[in-house]
A and B are shown apart, each in its own frame.
Chain A
Amino acid sequence: MKYFIQKIATLIITLLLVSILAFLAFQIIPGDVVNSILGTEATPEMEEALRAELGLDKPPVQRYLAWGKDVLRGDFGVSYRYSKNMNEMMPVKELIGDKLPVTLWLALLSVGITVIVAIPLGVLWAGTKNKFLDGFLNVLTQTSMAIPAFFLGILVTYLFGIALKMFAPGAYVSYKTDFGGFIHYLIFPAIAIAIPKIGMTARFLRNSTLTELKSDYVRTAKSKGVSDTGILFKHVLRNAMLPVVTFLGMIIAEVVAGSIVVEQVFSLPGIGRLLISSISTRDFPVVEILILYITFVVIVVYFVVDVLYRILDPRIRQK
């Protein structure tokens, strides 16, 4: 119990720190938002009015407190760039809510593919005595990790989109209009994300399995006459999977935080692309909330992994 309270306190403090840093960072940079929204033909009165509307006429500390209070209440402010219609500014909440399903579905698909392929592959690899297969898998996984995400995206686009014509490159289908088509389109970026992750996870699982195979309890089981297959599945894998859980957690955090590059390659309107566009248009209310979102996701996923670890391994619980 003490552990949980401590963890949750750390989570809150980190979020608070990140929020202060994110807010302050965007206050000290040069460039006036009001000028860039209204353009050069604005009168001083118009600028004054907009500044008051956005709350920019108050000192930074006061503004941070007001902003923080709003965020806690669930009001994330309005975007500087996107507008809902002619006279209404786009609330950041709606903007992100619109993009979030894309990133979450993409994350789910790519992590799913990774787990389904990588775990059997890693076990097979650890168990094989075939020198050729071992070398082949080594080169294959090493190569999969050396291909940058955007080049992999381009290769997947070329292979599945242009050569095999399994999907139309760039023709994203919105989840609002056609959910089946949406998932169908998402499979290919998910493959592009999953390939290096499969390589890493399989290597990781193989190494942890081989380490476990050298331990004393394996020798004991062996001398008791347990078959090699039995040792592998009943004894070794339960231990070897533990570090893999942590590793998968890191992957989930990374993908949910937004696969910026892959979203760009496949022109998916997700969180990652929103971050890029709001950074290049200096849409700071959006950037600030996105930074908080990413920090939150990363911390929560690590927290869940930590808890899971304690459930899976009683040895850690007792410490």
Chain B
Amino acid sequence: MKVFNNGKAPDRKLNIYLIVGAVMTGLVLIWAVVGIFWTPYSTTQMSASLRFHAPTWSHPFGTDNFGRDIFSRVMKAVGTSAIISILVVAISAVLGILLGAITGYFGGIVDAVVMRVVDAVNGFPSILLALVIISLLGKGRQNVVLALGMAFTPSFVRIVRGEFIRLRDADYIVRARLMGVNKPRILFVHILPNIFSTFWVSVMIGFNNAILAESGLSYLGIGVQAPDATLGSMLSDAQGYLAKSPWFALAPGLTIVWTVLGAAMLSEGIGKLKK
């Protein structure tokens, strides 16, 4: 077994992750955006004669237990999941930047208190935390966004805080301070742009976790409510008919895998690009 590689960096080649990730993510996004405006069939129209059809040319993913076209429903569901996940990441990233910047730069008592809370919350699996928040707020689309947004904030706070601690005593920041630059400007004009390379990777990871958490919640029946299609609720419906029509579960399931895999590869590609 040869394990020693003399500390040499591997050969620099084409950034496959970036290309494959971008193509996969791009395809899903196009599909989702089209799905918001147009689907080949109605997503809610039921038909008794069309129940449990196997995939055919006119219904590429088959039809479900109510005779609805699965292709159209998945298309719509991807859009819903993507919009929810983007909002979740936006909320948690903005809150994370604000709290992380303040705690990381100033430290002190505020930092101690916020970090205790972040530690306590971080220990909780995020889907559990979202569940508890939803039990307080009630079900529904807005509350899913709020709950997941709150549940995801601590991990962003942690990352942003770490970066601000790393940069707060850098020479150019010390000089800016001596020149009398005001604090908000130091925080958001001098430091913030320098953490984006690290930050983008966590945004992509956050997006993935949001997709998984959202479909998890709707699988459990506490996310977006019927008759709106979501990937999670479609899987939950399909589970009962697994022996009879496995493709019913396959289409929404593989769509989630495709989306998450694409975003994961894209974030790895971006990470490699920075090096």
Contacts and interface: CB of A to CB of B under 8 A. Distances in A.
A276 B212 contact: no
B239 interface: yes
Contacts of B1: 127, 228-229, 232
* Interface size classification for chain B: 35 or more
Interface in A119-145: 126-127, 129, 142-143, 145
A280 B132 CA distance: 10
A228 B4 CA distance: 7
Interface in B251-274: 253, 256-257, 260-261, 264-265
Interface in A243-296: 253-254, 257-258, 260-261, 264-265, 275-276, 279-280, 282, 287, 291, 294-295
A280 to B, nearest CB: 7
Contacts of B125: 254, 257
B132 A146 contact: no
Interface stretch (B43-51, B193-201, B215-223): B215-223
Contacts of A61: none
A287 B132 contact: yes
A299 B123 contact: yes
Contacts of B124: 257, 294-295, 298
Interface in A11-48: 14, 17-18, 25-26, 29
A257 to B, nearest CB: 6
Contacts of A157: 239, 242
The residue in B3, B120, B222, B235 that gathers the most chain A C-beta atoms within 10 A of its C-beta is: B3
B162 to A, nearest CB: 17
Contacts of B136: 25-26, 29
A149 B216 contact: yes
A179 interface: no
A275 B129 CA distance: 11
A143 B261 contact: yes
B2 interface: yes
Nearest to A157: B242
Contacts, number: 125
Interface residues of A, number: 53
A211 to B, nearest CB: 11
A162 interface: yes
B101 interface: no
Contact of B135 (A126, A229, A279): A279
B239 A148 contact: no
Contacts of B220: 260-261, 264, 276
Contact of A150 (B3, B219, B222): B219
Chain B contact residues: over half helix, strand or loop, or mixed? helix
A218 interface: yes
A169 interface: yes
The residue in A26, A142, A253, A299 that gathers the most chain B C-beta atoms within 10 A of its C-beta is: A142
A49 interface: no
A304 interface: no
A310 B135 CA distance: 40
B4 A218 contact: yes
A155 interface: yes
Contacts of B242: 154, 157-158, 162, 169
Contact of B257 (A146, A162, A261, A294): A146
Contact of A228 (B3, B208, B215, B222): B3
B232 interface: yes
Interface string A143-178: 101111111001101100010000001000000000
Nearest to B236: A150
Contact of B127 (A29, A151, A260, A291): A260
Given A150-B216, A280-B222, A257 B235 contact: no
A264 B127 CA distance: 14
B219 to A, nearest CB: 5
A273 to B, nearest CB: 10
30 contacts: A14-B119, A126-B3, A127-B1, A142-B264, A143-B261, A146-B208, A146-B257, A146-B261, A147-B260, A148-B212, A148-B215, A148-B260, A150-B216, A150-B232, A150-B235, A150-B236, A154-B239, A158-B242, A213-B4, A214-B7, A228-B3, A229-B3, A236-B3, A254-B125, A257-B125, A260-B128, A261-B220, A275-B128, A275-B131, A276-B131
Given A147-B253, A154-B238, A260-B127, 7 more contacts: A148-B215, A148-B219, A213-B3, A261-B216, A280-B221, A287-B132, A294-B124
Interface of A: 14, 17-18, 25-26, 29, 126-127, 129, 142-143, 145-151, 154-155, 157-158, 162, 169, 213-214, 218, 222, 228-229, 231-232, 236, 253-254, 257-258, 260-261, 264-265, 275-276, 279-280, 282, 287, 291, 294-295, 298-299, 302
Interface of B: 1-5, 7, 116, 119-120, 123-125, 127-128, 131-132, 134-136, 208, 212, 215-216, 219-222, 232, 235-236, 238-239, 242-243, 246, 249, 253, 256-257, 260-261, 264-265
